[in-house]
Structures are given as C-alpha cells and as structure tokens.
Structure 1
Amino acid sequence: MSSGNFFVQTNEVETMMFDWGRIIMTCTPEITGSSGFSAGIVEMEPGQGHDRHNHPGAEELIYVISGEGEQMVEDEEGNPIVSTVKAGCTIYVPESRFHYTVNTGKEQMKVLVVYSPPGSEKELRKLPDFRLIPPAQQPKG
C-alpha cells in the first residue's frame, strides 16, 4: 500500500498477532504518509493483556473503544499508577514511560493507540511471540 491514503480499512493492512492479542496499524508513514504519529487498533480477549513495557522516545495515547480493563502507567519516579478503565476512557502515557494493559472484563477489549512520533509499532515486530497476518488473509468488512 503506498503512502498518501486517506481512508484505510482494517482488512487492507497486515495484522500483528501476539499471544495476548492483536494490533492492526492503520496509520503509519508507510500506509498514509503520516509524519507526526502512527495509530492502530489493539484487541485483547478476556484475561489477556500485554506486559509492562515502554516506547523509548515516544508518547502514547490509548482510547478505550469497548470493554474494560486495568491500566498501569508509571509516574515520574517510576511508581505504578493503576486504574480501572472502560469504554470512553483516554489514557496518556508520557514519553518512554512504562505501562501495561490487561482486559479484566468478560468481553473483548478494543483500544485505539496513537504513538508520537511514529515508529514504536516497528519495535513490536521484534517481540518473540510476534506473528504477521497479511492483508489478503483478513476477513472482509
């Protein structure tokens, strides 16, 4: 897919699969030509979530679309701040700050993530449980 796309469907891009869920990046410099951020949808099944991690040099914005979970973001001193989050909640993760998300609900948890600057999504490909599903294998719709 060439850069400069203004409208991107999730079934038109590859899906990054992990043991805890999946990420579908729909806005990256390679897909849309964006230069200041990247964005995508993260889906986690009940009881699943990702481990504590950070994105060196990048801020992250997380918006809970559906479901509920537990979100941790460390403060300036490295102390974990934990909160229950649900649909409609926005979470700000400052640059390089450690954080995690876990689906504590009974249904799938879906969140929109935004990284600024873009690039954190490329680092995810280095994780040991990373698997890639090409767009051609995505369900239509």
Structure 2
Amino acid sequence: MSESEKMFRYPKEVNTFAFDWGRLALTVAPEVNGAERFSGGVVDLAAGQGHSRHNHPGSEEIIFVISGTGEQMVEDEAGNPVVRQVGPGCTIYVPESRYHSTLNTGSGPMQLFVVYSPAGPERALRDLPDFRLVPPGAE
C-alpha cells in the first residue's frame, strides 16, 4: 500500500479490537499509517454498554461523540469523578494519566472518535481478557 493510500482510512479497512463492551477500529496508528505522535480511531458502543474506569499513564486522550448519548466520567486534578451527560458534537479532554469511563445510556448505538497522544495506550487493550482481533472484512 502506498503512503498516499495510508493517509485515508475507513474503519472497515483496518483491524478491529473487539471486546464484550464494544469495538475500536484504529484508523491512525504507527502500524496503520506511520503516525508518530498520536493514534486514534472509531469506538462503537451498543446500548447499555461502555468501558470501565481506566487510565492511560503518560498519555492524553480526546474523545469526540459522533452519535448517540452517554455518561462520561473524567477525574479532576484531585481524583474526584466528574460525570456529564454527553451527546453528538461533544468533545471530552482526558488529561494525562486521569481515570475515565464511558457508558452508552441511549437506546441505540453510540459512536466516538478517540485520539491518544502520544500513541501507545491502545496496545494495552490487547492484554484484556475479552480482547479479540477482527481482521478487515470479518464478522
């Protein structure tokens, strides 16, 4: 694949990380298109599903709500949980190493675009017990 082809990626064209709570398709990452300073992709959460409280040591995260509604928790600088209802168009900033979680509280799917800086936190997802790697075009 040429460098110019790697610059334009759809979620269906890349490996998907599947979990019991949803899916992550990394469309930007060192192994996908050579991105050096960040990684990112599309997260799909079914109604009532979400990812549990976790953090990314050494990385910041941006979460952008594409569709659906949910409850977003991000800890403040004192470690207290700050919870907000979020919907399409909302951007959530997760400071470096802060704990956070997302829950789809709507009746339909919720879709997010996430960015990690620097790249790398997504590698730890492969160690989760419910992790499954789904190649493009499968499932």
- Please, which runs of 5 or more residues in structure 2 have no aligned partner? none
Q: Secondary structure at the match of 1:137?
A: coil
Q: Which consecutive segments of 4 or more residues in structure 1 shift more than 3 A?
A: 1-4
Q: TM-score, normalised by structure 2?
A: 0.95
Which residues in structure 2 correspond to 1:84-95 (within 5 Å)? 84-95=85-96
Match for 2:120: what amino acid? G
Q: Is the 8 A contact 1:3 1:29 kept in 2?
A: no
Q: Is the 8 A contact 1:60 1:115 kept in 2?
A: yes
Match of 1:124 in 2: 125
Q: Secondary structure at the match of 1:128?
A: coil
Residue 44 in structure 1 maps to residue 45 in structure 2: yes
- Please, which runs of 5 or more residues in structure 1 have no aligned partner? none
Are residues 27 and 2 of structure 1, via their aligned partners in 2, closer, same or farther at CA, if it must alter by over 3 Å? farther
Q: TM-score, normalised by structure 1?
A: 0.94
Q: Secondary structure at the match of 2:33?
A: coil
Distance 1:2 1:114 in 2: 24
The percent of aligned pairs where both chains have the same amino acid is: 59
Are residues 79 and 3 of structure 1, via their aligned partners in 2, closer, same or farther at CA, if it must alter by over 3 Å? farther
Q: Secondary structure at the match of 1:31?
A: helix
User: What is the CA-CA distance between 1:136 and the residue it aligns to?
Assistant: 4.0
User: What is the CA-CA distance between 1:3 and the residue it aligns to?
Assistant: 6.5
Are residues 3 and 76 of structure 1, via their aligned partners in 2, closer, same or farther at CA, if it must alter by over 3 Å? farther
Distance 1:2 1:98 in 2: 38
User: What is the CA-CA distance between 1:137 and the residue it aligns to?
Assistant: 1.4
